[in-house]
Structure 1
């Protein structure tokens, strides 16, 4: 039994695929494409273990197309061109059965490697399916991205993960022979982090520690005990990526530069993409520090530009400087909370009308209809301020931005109080 449980349970048909109903449900985008036999080039974007590779295999099988696969970690331009030549011979221009070329971790391809795919995709020699855990807007060149549909895969929900576990117990040829009772699942689900493959790997590890003739009762305590006692084997799955980046960001948020540098070192020693780390620093600079220290975002952005230019190993110093600076900065999530609350209000209230006073009035008709009428141009008033309503009437006086308790945002609070009096009286 050398094949991992996750591989043994890999579904072969769309009907057996767990989760992603927005793509593979009855009215899902991919379901419709397969029904009509029209398979566009596409990028699957989502966390590890959400079924990107499985979905590519199913598409190829159900559409009856030749299937070629490459990993961006181990393949270069030479391998890409060789596969494209094979695909051209097995498929062909303007055929409905042109081969599928699946590239795992396409975000790791350089610009020149991605450029080598362009002609094949444009000419229809292959249908490209790329899988990535990174935002393709940043990692896939625009020329290639414009020729692909981007489909987002979500982390598995609790019911999806429990479905996988029950399917493993009932249908796996090895586990079905064992006497397994799944009494508790909370620890398993927490350890999985929404990653189906990781869940099955951990589950198989735990089951393997029991003697074959013994009844196996899975509880949260058993799971935590078995995993802790098999740390090395557990870590060999190589899926600590998100756990460590989480620890890194939380160390910065918690103002601990020692923790931040340690987890940074873990990522660097593990071969993590330095641009991935720099992007997370950019997010933290805005989400966790924000207006408490606006310079943090400037430094984080400069860090991203610097590591993109310099590369490894020198970039480790730049990343360390930025991480320690952010950790030592005052913290505020006020801007982050403000946009969350504003988006929630938009979802609740829909497309409310822009007040007439602040509408644009480029034509005579618009002016006659009252667009821009009674608008007060702030610069014409004392202190460059004139009190007026900028929100739709239905939600006027709603507060989204609440300045944090730090030197800079205390100044923001005082400024708003002076201008708006009671409206911004926090």
Structure 2
């Protein structure tokens, strides 16, 4: 079988420029820099099972191969598009004869539950070290049992600086392009059309250089016009893999939070026309429904959940109607961030001050010893109280009277505040 590092001149530029050494790998310094976590793993001579999550063309496959090469591990690669359970079991059987085998699965999010289940035993007992690559959020696309056995690391879209360095090295080091004199006059179109995808960048660079006639001095002038003429399309107004992806989704969320359905629909249209993943949009609506609406309108979460499920089943183009309905509903709903601020305040308390002892009346008492120590004594069963409420202390002693939840200023949470005040009187100052 040919190695990914075979580099004939007939191969596309992206393959010819695939790094042979980790030192030549571009980007992802948060993982591979001096203090990067993957760098520390390599220094220790070990490699856990990993899920590499990131947009296309940022080097997931190359990184997996280089990690195995660096540690001199046997390497097998499967693509989830065409591999089945039998292929997985065949690799596992071979791995039993080769210690330290790395199994790389590209697009692991496309594996069915049965295919992912087939990996569990081998990953858990160390027969294989799994490296999965995915462009989708692994929390939604990888089964929990497999996810719990892997470390998840996010790969970022390549920066303009990194992309420019890739261009420079391709033009000076590639055995084909280095023989063609090229002047980089402009690179805006090249960077914009690549969208942070190195594979797309190199493919377009090769086409432009080889299809642009040299000037009177025999040199190829790389300009935005030359790139756009070769690509036969204008610079993308929305790039789902680049910086605008984050700008537009930010404006989209803030428009809904700000109760402007018209602006929200505009940014939704920008994303849909730009080819954004509808599940990505629907996930963000799910988060927003709790973060920005919460108990001001509990139905918001239910509709957002239904929207996500419907978009998952239906896909485009019909999902645009479902997203539109949900966006309008969320944007016009009353708003409250009380649930968000409440859990953040509680988490801050735990992180800053640790965990306080549970009050003795609330402790479980499954043994005679625990009962003899008073566990569960003085606990009042709430349903025996008037209105199914019994006034008692639930907080640890050190936090008695501490309030994390402050109901929002909206009709539904005003009723919640009234109920809390009736139950707890002045204990939490509601």
CA distance in 2, matches of 1:81, 1:262: 47
Aligned to 2:265: 261
Distance in 2 separating the partners of 1:362 and 1:119: 34
**Counterpart check, 1:304 vs 2:308:** yes
After the TM superposition, which residues 64-75 of structure 1 pair with which residues of structure 2 at under 5 Å, given as runs? 64-65=72-73, 75=81
Show the counterpart of 2:97: 94
Partner of 1:244: 248
Distance 1:29 1:155, change over 3 A: closer
Match of 1:13 among 7, 11, 22: 22
Please report how far the alpha carbon of residue 3 of structure 1 lies from its aligned counterpart in structure 2 after TM superposition. 7.1
Aligned to 1:135: 137
State how far apart, in whole Å, the 1-side matches of 2:273 and 2:345 are. 39
Task: Tell me what 1:220 maps to.
Answer: none
CA RMSD of aligned residues (A): 4.9
Change over 3 Å in CA distance of 1:358–1:263 after alignment to 2 = same
Q: Distance in 1 between matches of 2:281 and 2:165?
A: 35
Deviation string, structure 1 residues 330-358 (Cα, Å, up to 9, x no partner): 11110011001110110011121111121
* 1:400 counterpart (382, 397, 404): 404
Higher mean C-alpha deviation, range 374-383 or range 402-411? 374-383
5 Å-filtered alignment, 1:288-299, equals 288-299=292-303
Gaps of 5+ in 1: 176-190, 206-230
**SS of structure 1 residue aligned to 2:52:** strand
Q: Is 107-116 or 381-390 further displaced after alignment? A: 107-116
The TM-score with structure 1 as length reference comes to: 0.67
Superposed displacement of residue 13, structure 1: 2.9
Report the CA distance between 1:256 and its aligned residue: 1.8
The whole-number CA distance in structure 1 between the counterparts of 2:279 and 2:254 is 19
Q: Does the residue aligned with 1:289 lie in a helix, a strand or coil? A: helix
Match of 1:418 among 416, 422, 425: 422
Q: How does 1:134-213 map to 2 (within 5 A)?
A: 134-142=136-144, 144-145=146-147, 148-153=149-154
Assess, with a 3 A threshold, how the Cα gap between structure 1 residues 152 and 423 changes in structure 2: closer, same or farther: farther
Aligned to 1:283: 287
Which of 19, 40, 52 matches 1:31?
Answer: 40
SS in 2 for 1:20: helix
Please state if 1:355 is matched with 2:389.
Answer: no
Distance verdict in 2 for CA 1:329–1:360, change over 3 Å: same
Residue 44 of structure 1 is matched in structure 2 by 52
- 1:274 counterpart = 2:278: yes
Deviation, structure 1 residue 161: 8.1
> What residue number does 1:59 align with?
67
Counterpart-to-counterpart distance in 2, 1:331 and 1:244: 21
Give me the whole-angstrom Cα distance separating, in 2, the residues matched to 1:120 and 1:423. Answer: 54
For residues 46 and 154 of structure 1, what CA distance do their matches in structure 2 show?
A: 5
In structure 1, distance between residues paired with 2:429 and 2:248: 41
For residues 331 and 71 of structure 1, the distance between their equivalents in structure 2, rounded to whole angstroms, comes to 45
Return the alpha-carbon distance in structure 2 between the equivalents of residues 291 and 125 of structure 1: 48
Give me the whole-angstrom Cα distance separating, in 2, the residues matched to 1:122 and 1:362. 33
Q: Is the 8 A contact 1:292 1:330 kept in 2?
A: yes
CA deviation after TM superposition for structure 1 residue 101, in Å:
2.5
The 2-side partners of 1:54 and 1:248 are apart by 34
What residue number does 1:313 align with?
Answer: 317
Superposed CA deviations along residues 151-183 of structure 1, whole A, max 9, x for unmatched, are 333869xxx989x77x959x96989xxxxxxxx
Q: Between Structure 1 and Structure 2, whose CA radius of gyration is higher?
A: 2
How many pairs were matched up?
A: 372
Cα separation, 1, equivalents of 2:40 and 2:378: 53
Question: How much does 1:365 deviate?
Answer: 1.6
Inter-partner Cα distance in structure 2 for 1:234 and 1:11: 32
- Are the equivalent residues in 1 in contact too, given 2:286–2:301 (CA < 8 A)? yes
Deviation at 1:304, TM superposition (A): 2.3
Residue 295 (structure 1) shift: 0.9
> Structure 2: how far apart are the matches of 1:311 and 1:173?
38
Deviation of 1:248 (Å): 2.4
Q: What is aligned with 1:182?
A: none
User: 2:146 & 2:385 partners in 1: Cα distance?
Assistant: 51
**Cα contact 1:358–1:375 (8 A) shared by 2:** yes
Q: Render the CA deviation track for 1:248-304: whole Å, top value 9, x for unaligned.
A: 222221212222223333333333333332222211111110000001111112222
Q: 1:83 deviation in Å?
A: 11
Q: Is the 8 A contact 1:93 1:124 kept in 2?
A: no
